[in-house]
Amino acid sequence: MPNKKLTGSFVALVTPFDKTGQVDFGAFRELLGFHERNGTGAILIMGSTGETSLLSPEEKKAIIVETAKMKTAGMPLFYGCTGNNTDTTIANVNFARDHGADGAILAAPAYICASEGDIERFFLDVADATSLPLGIYNNPPRVKTDLHWDNLIRIFKHPNYVVHKESTTRVGQVAQVLAARTDVSVMCCDSPNLGLVVPTMSLGGHGTANMTGNLAPAELATISKPWTGYAEAEGFKNAYLGLLPLLHYTYSAINPVAVKSLMKAVGLPVGDLRRPLTNLEGEALAKGVRIIQELGLDKRYAYKIQPLSAIAA
């Protein structure tokens, strides 16, 4: 990855499946091209939006190998590489490094509910064992462990860490990390329920690590552009307020149920969710389609939408 701070819209991509339920690499290429044409700054593959916990180890390796061949200089590809322990995570990260990844995003290992001190050591041990640029996803709703800004600031002194995604509701945490003037890009989740996007960007954040960009990439690129003056702030305000209905919709069901269901409904090549997850149907799905149409996104992106009567049936 070029020695350049990540900024803008960092989209957590869905994992596309074909009609047989297998990973669809042709669709991956199409989706990556869609994002590059519409201003996405970087892509995360195999995050929670990518149904990573539902992929087999063999599928994860194949996804890294094949999608890394599709990357371009203008849009870095990061991969979710968290394993169930430190050694597995190190192996995952170095596999990604050896096969062309630009970076890896790590969360605390799920289910073990480790202490903050143990997870701080986990992040540092992984960083010591690789040369790949790394990011941290502080996401306590998914993994229980919640890192305090003191933990994060100490971790970010390690030169391998380049990006932080915050998914708590603590504006103060984002402020403290930014005030510490670490070298990492400070980003936040795009969920309007967390309430982090406005304060993060106004305090000097570098972008958003989002999943609504799967459906509205250009709009998220505007929302995620760092503020250098009034023009960016005004563009942010207009885009963010306008997109609120879609932001609320994409977080109306556990990620990625709403976003992937709606992507399929508008004609993007994503396939179905992997069992036991199921796609939204009926009125729950039709509501999302109406939002897409009311915002004019169907015309902007030439989405191919069935009649609402058929979707809601």
- Note the pLDDT tens digit of each residue in 129-152: 999 999 999 987 777 778 899 999
More confident residue, 114 or 248: 248
Largest CA distance in the chain: 56
Active site residue 251: no
Q: What is the pLDDT of residue 3?
A: 63
Is a pLDDT exceeding 70 seen at residue 2? no
Which residue is catalytic, options 79, 137, 161, 240?
137
Q: What is the pLDDT of residue 214?
A: 98
Whether the pLDDT of residue 128 is over 70: the answer is yes
Strand partners, 166: 138, 188
Binding residue per annotation — 72? no
End-to-end, the C-alpha distance of the chain in Å comes to 47
Highest mean pLDDT among 28-32, 170-174, 302-306: 28-32
Average pLDDT rounded to a whole number, residues 169-192: 94
Q: What is the pLDDT of residues 241-269, one digit of tens each?
A: 999 999 999 999 999 999 999 999 999 99
Report how far residue 175's alpha carbon sits from residue 172's, in angstroms, rounded to the nearest whole number: 5
Quick one: pLDDT at residue 146?
A: 85
Q: Per-domain residue ranges for the chain?
A: 8-243
**Residue range 112-126: average pLDDT?**
94
Instruction: Return the CATH superfamily for domain 8-243.
Output: Aldolase class I (3.20.20.70)
271-309: pLDDT as tens digits: 999 999 999 999 999 999 999 999 999 999 999 998 876
Catalytic residue among 60, 165, 260, 287: 165
> Catalytic site residue 111?
no
The secondary structure of the chain in percent helix, strand, coil, rounded to multiples of 5, reads 45, 15, 40
Query: Over pLDDT 90: what percentage of the chain?
Result: 89
Rounded to two decimals, the pTM is 0.95
Stretch 179-198: mean pLDDT, rounded? 95
Rounded to the nearest integer, the mean pLDDT of the chain is 95
Is residue 170 scored above 90 in pLDDT? no
Is residue 18 over pLDDT 70? Answer: yes
- DSSP secondary structure, 177-235, as one string: HHHTT-SSEEEE---TTTT-HHHHHHTT--EEEESGGGT-HHHHHHHTSPPSSHHHHHH
